[in-house]
Amino acid sequence: MPLYHNDDQAMLKDSVAPFVAEQAPVSHLRKLRDSADATGFSRDLWAQFTEMGLPGMLVPEAHGGLGMGHMEAGIVLEEIGRNLTPSPFLATSVGAVAALAKAGGTQAGRWLPAIASGEAIVALAIDEGAKHRPDRIAATATRSGNGFRLDGKKSFVLHGHVADMSIVAAKTDGGITLFAVPKNAKGMTADPRRLVDSSLASHVTLDGVEVDADAVIGEVDAGGEILDALLAATRTGAAAEMVGVGQGAMDMTVTYLKERKQFGKLIGEFQGLQHRAAHLYGEMEVARATVMKAQQLLDEGSEGARLMVSVAKAKAGRAANLAVREGVQMHGGIGMTDEYDIGLYMKRDRALAEFMGDVHYHIDQVARMNGY
Amino acid sequence: MSDLDAFRAEVRGWLEANCPAEMREPIREEGDVCWGGRNWVFKNDAQKAWLEACVAKGYTVPDWPKPYGGAGLTPEETKILKQEMKRINARSPLDSFGIWMLGPALLQFGTEEQKVQYLNPIARGEIRWCQGYSEPGSGSDLVSLQTFGEDKGDHWVVNGSKIWTSYADKADWIFCLVRTDKTNKYQGITFMLFDMESPGVTTKPILLISGNSPFCETFFDDVEVPKTQYIGEINRGWDVAKYLLGHEREMISGGGAGGDMVSIGGAFAKAFGKNAAGELDDPILRAEMAAFDVDVFAYRAMGERFMDMWKTGRAHPASSNMMKYVGTELNKRRHELVMSGGGSEALEWDSEETKGGARARGWLRTKANSIEGGTSEVMLNVIAKRILDLPGA
């Protein structure tokens, strides 16, 4: 497979890009923020996403989805990133779908069609501390009657307070097990916090939550592999969204360099700024290629996907961060104002950078995978 | 079995029968590289046999048409041949500026007669070429060049000098940019070819910080060049030069000075040890190496995407400038880490254990990567103007 979008993928982009830009531009985010919206995204917009079939892109056709791949999901995520569109797409349609499709069984049959039809929002309850450390999950699931009893705390759970179901990772006797915990489960509370980018993420408390045995996603103790699939998909998706954020910020900045005059010249004429913009362009192109490579390897089910996923999250993290920092700096004073959009890009980048492992976490992973 | 599978099987068989064992060893020193040319002395029989076998098959330039010494392979077949050669670690049968730079320009701009005349000896490794672009004081600013060819009817008389002409002292012929019209800065340059044994040509090696001397100063004193020996149109040599520079940048950013873009952290962990946790025994260096390795894997993905897009005409024409910039800066970073990881051993300049100070000399050599073939700053200018469309200063 060549590393560019084929005709079908280009067509998908041609329909998704104008749709997101028209229906959910940055002003959409501002409106939700300024009205102190309590959901974190627009249900109306999600209904429009559903009309286009987007929530079920990665859902296998047998479960009512489109059976597409990460390359296609990445197209949607890049546009979401470029427009800073608040949406449950990444957690629900990418992360949760990857886990459920990998596991199969009862929970896949129950939730995949509901995701594809736009009815179900799913939250990913993985992290427990300020930093992403999935190898140190401390929440527990102990056998209780015919099912399990869940105890522990989760943090940074996107959409946790409105999710119809949460995928909870917990320690069991022989490993990690993933559970599908439905909304309003007794003993589970979600305390939403507004983040720097205006999105809402919850601290979730599990206090003796009782679930049936069939709430297990996949097999007991064998959740590690399913969690890996969830993480690989979500990290790659976050990287694709960051490429969108970085591209959006870079485009705004380059446009500004061509319009803003100082000292009687367009500031884009100054070589000092030209070189920084050109360097940024190179970094963004490399990041884009890397994310596409990770998507391609995931879609092929390749062994090399794990390494490239961490490379992509790290590289996209570095490049997008450079884009937003240069964006604010090159905009000068106006870049510091709330009224101007560039600062919103910086905020979203910060949140995505932290989500599912920051640059340092993934650089460390690359070192480990290479034996040092 | 598909045609391509059959081709792969055929190539495997041919390589098995024709690539000598000595040619399946990594390049260890300059003499292992086969440059060819009139005065070439083969290092051993294997080097000679390997070149001759490849020449007979058209495999020194597999994707060139057969009448010009190639094998006429399709891009897919060429890729398979390269994969199969890499699989057995086969050395390149012939390294040549004729193949990398002049050949593609001749294929694009040469007349039928010129193609037959020049491409075949290039494919056979009979003529070693050098490139006469830069001049003292001009650097990357090639349009400012001063070497002048005075029109004498059926020939030019060329006077001037060139600098940074790689291996000019070993080359048989030169492809050269010569000003033929002083009134037009851009459209007054002609792309000429001539024999380095022509009366009036002299060369002088330039000693570099690496202690080596691959570059020369080259002087032209009333050199006569027949009017049949130019490529493209008279005074439009810039078109040829630009086309050729695109290929040079691909080479420098790709396999050439770009080095082999592989992970380095693992090798250093083996060399100077890991701690009890199985991690490289210097946490800061480990972090720097791992951050570098992330960029290496990322750059490889970019290289793949660039080639896929370039071959199908999807790449922006100036994207080779971006590849050159990113690749050469990355290669310089690699060699800084190689020195850092090597410690005091990497400082040794002439010991046998360090293969004559290979690491130190290699590190110093890479400093030229972001200067030769257009400086990083020139690459950034091109990206800013041609891709980002920023206003001219």
Residue A208: closest CA among A154, A271, A276, A142? A142
The pLDDT value recorded for residue B255 is 42
| Digit-coded pLDDT (tens) for B304-328 | 999 899 888 899 989 999 999 999 9
CB contact under 8 A, A278 and B389: no
Residue B293 identity (one-letter amino acid): D
What token pair was written down for B318?
């100036």
Of A266, A270, A290, the CB nearest to B298: A290
Chain-wide mean pLDDT for chain A?
A: 97
Residues from chain A contacting residue B385 (CB–CB below 8 Å): 274
Mean pLDDT of A74-93: 98
Tokens of A30: 């501002």
Residues with Cβ < 8 Å from B44, sequence gap 6 or more?
Answer: B22
Check CB contact under 8 Å for B301 and A274.
Answer: no
Position B213 confidence tier, pLDDT thresholds 50, 70, 90: confident
Which chain B residues are closer than 8 Å to A305 by Cβ? none
Tens digits of residue pLDDT in A162-201: 999 999 999 999 999 999 999 999 999 999 999 999 999 9
Encode pLDDT of B323-347 as tens digits: 999 999 999 999 999 999 999 999 9
Confidence bin at B259 (pLDDT 50/70/90): very low
* Lowest-confidence segment of A169-183, A321-335, B89-103 by average pLDDT: B89-103
Long-range residue pairs from B232-236, CB within 8 A, at least 24 positions apart, any chain: B232/B109, B232/B191, B234/B180, B234/B190, B235/B180, B235/B181, B235/B184, B235/B187, B235/B188, B235/B189, B235/B190, B236/B187, B236/B189, B236/B190
| pLDDT of B258 | 37
Could you tell me the two tokens for B236? 């439009």
Per-residue confidence (pLDDT) for residue B28, from 0 to 100? 78
- N-to-C CA span, chain B: 59
List all residues of chain B from 345 to 384 with a beta carbon under 8 Å from chain A.
Answer: 377, 379-381, 383-384
Distance of CA A313 to the CA centre of its chain: 11
Q: Is the pLDDT of residue B257 over 50?
A: no
Q: Backbone phi, then psi, for B131, in 5-degree steps? A: -115, 125
User: Is there a contact between A286 and B326 if contact means CB atoms under 8 Å apart?
Assistant: yes
Decide: B345 and B369 in contact? Cβ < 8 Å: no
Distance CA B333, CA A190 (A): 47
Distance from the Cα of B54 to chain A's closest Cα (Å) equals 29
Beta bridge partners of B217: B163, B204
B387 vs A278: CB contact, 8 Å cut-off?
yes
Dist CA B99 CA B104 (whole Å)? 7
pLDDT of residue A301: 96
pLDDT band at A308 (very low <50, low <70, confident <90, very high): very high
> What proportion of chain A, given as a percentage, has pLDDT over 90?
100
Q: Where are the beta strands (DSSP E) in A46-174?
A: 122-125, 140-144, 147-158, 165-172
pLDDT in tens, A336-364: 999 999 999 999 999 999 999 999 999 99
Quick check: A262 contacting B, CB < 8 Å? Answer: no
A94 touching chain B per CB within 8 A:
no
Instruction: Please tell me the distance in Å from A309's CA to the nearest CA on chain B.
Output: 10
pLDDT digits (tens, 9 = 90+) for A235-261: 999 999 999 999 999 999 999 999 999
Cβ(A159)–Cβ(A92) below 8 Å: yes
Q: Would you call B388 and A254 a contact, using CB atoms and an 8 Å cutoff?
A: yes
Q: Number of Cβ pairs closer than 8 Å across A and B?
A: 141
Which chain A residue has its CA at the smallest distance from B309's CA? Answer: A4
Closest-CA distance, A96 to chain B, in angstroms, reads 27
Average confidence score pLDDT of chain B? 91
Chain A residues 263-302 within an 8 A CB cutoff of chain B: 266, 268-271, 274-275, 277-279, 281-283, 285-290, 292-293
Answer yes or no: is pLDDT of A305 > 60: yes
The pLDDT of residue A182: 97
Q: Look at residue A76 in the predicted model and tell me its pLDDT.
A: 98
Instruction: Collect all residues with Cβ–Cβ distance below 8 Å to A316 and sequence separation of at least 6.
Output: A238, A239, A240, A242, A243, A246, A287, A290, A291
DSSP state at residue A250: H
Q: Do A278 and B312 touch (CB under 8 A)?
A: no
- Residue B299 to chain A, least CA–CA distance (Å): 6
Q: Do A282 and B325 touch (CB under 8 A)?
A: yes
Q: Does residue B262 sit at the A interface (CB-CB below 8 Å)?
A: no
Between the alpha carbon of residue B27 and those of residues B18, B37, B93, B248, B330, the distances in Å are 19, 20, 12, 21, 22
Q: What is the pLDDT of residue B30?
A: 76
Question: Strand, helix or coil at B20?
Answer: coil
Range 298-337 of B in CB contact (< 8 A) with A: 298-299, 301-302, 304-306, 308-309, 312, 314, 319, 322, 325-326
Q: Are strands B129-132 and B173-179 parallel, antiparallel or unpaired?
A: parallel
Please state, in angstroms and rounded to a whole number, the distance separating the CA atoms of residues B339 and A361: 26
Calpha distance B46→B18 (Å, rounded): 10
Q: Which of B266, B377, B393 sits opposite A370 (nearest CB)?
A: B266
Q: How far is A254 from chain B (nearest CA, A)?
A: 7
B189-195 and B230-231 as β-strands: parallel, antiparallel, unpaired?
antiparallel
Comparing CB atoms, the residue among A3, A269, A364 nearest residue B305 is A3
**Rounded CA separation A139/A137 (Å):** 6
Q: What is the pLDDT of residue B244?
A: 84
B251 touching A (Cβ < 8 Å): no
Whether residues A289 and B391 touch (CB distance < 8 A) is answered with: no
A274–B380 CB contact, under 8 Å: yes
Cβ separation A3–B390 shorter than 8 A = no
One-letter amino acid for residue B328 of the chain: T
Q: Report, as an integer, the average pLDDT of A321-349.
A: 97
- Over residues B97-127, the pLDDT tens digits come to 999 999 999 999 999 999 999 999 999 999 9
Per-residue pLDDT, averaged over A254-281, amounts to 97
Cα A240 from chain centroid (whole Å): 8
The mean per-residue pLDDT over the stretch B134-162 comes to 91
Length of chain A (residues):
372
Q: What is the DSSP string of B125-171?
A: T-S-EEEE---TTTTT-GGG---EEEE-SSEEEEEEEEEEEETTTT-
Q: What is the pLDDT of residue B245?
A: 78
Quote the minimal CA–CA distance from B333 to chain A in Å: 15
Q: Which residues of B touch A371 (CB under 8 A)?
A: 266, 269
Q: Is A214 on the interface with B (CB under 8 A)?
A: no
Mutate to test the interface with A, among B253, B377, B387, B388 (most CBs of A within 10 A): B388
Of A270, A285, A307, nearest to B297 by CB-CB distance is A307
Q: Poorest-confidence range of A36-50, A159-173, B17-31? A: B17-31
In chain A, % of residues over pLDDT 70:
100
Interatomic CA distance for residues A368 and B217, integer angstroms: 48
pLDDT category, B252, cuts 50, 70, 90? low
Distance from CA of A144 to the nearest CA of B (A): 38
Q: What is the pLDDT of residue B273?
A: 82
Nearest to A372 among B280, B379, B387 (CB): B280
The reply to whether B297 touches chain A by the CB within 8 Å rule is: yes
The answer for B273, left when phi > 0, alpha when psi is -120 to 50, beta otherwise, is left
Find, in chain A, the residue whose alpha carbon is nearest to that of B284.
A364
Minimal-distance CA residue of chain A relative to B273: A372
Assess whether pLDDT exceeds 90 at residue B242.
no
A293 → closest Cβ in B286, B294, B304: B304
pLDDT at B250: 61
Q: At what angle do helices B319-342 and B283-311 cross, to 10 degrees?
A: 160
Percent residues over pLDDT 90 in chain B: 76
Kindly give, in sequence order, each residue whose CB lies less than 8 Å from that of residue B113, ignoring residues fewer than 6 positions away. none
pLDDT, residue B254, reads 46
User: What is the predicted pLDDT for the residue at B261?
Assistant: 63
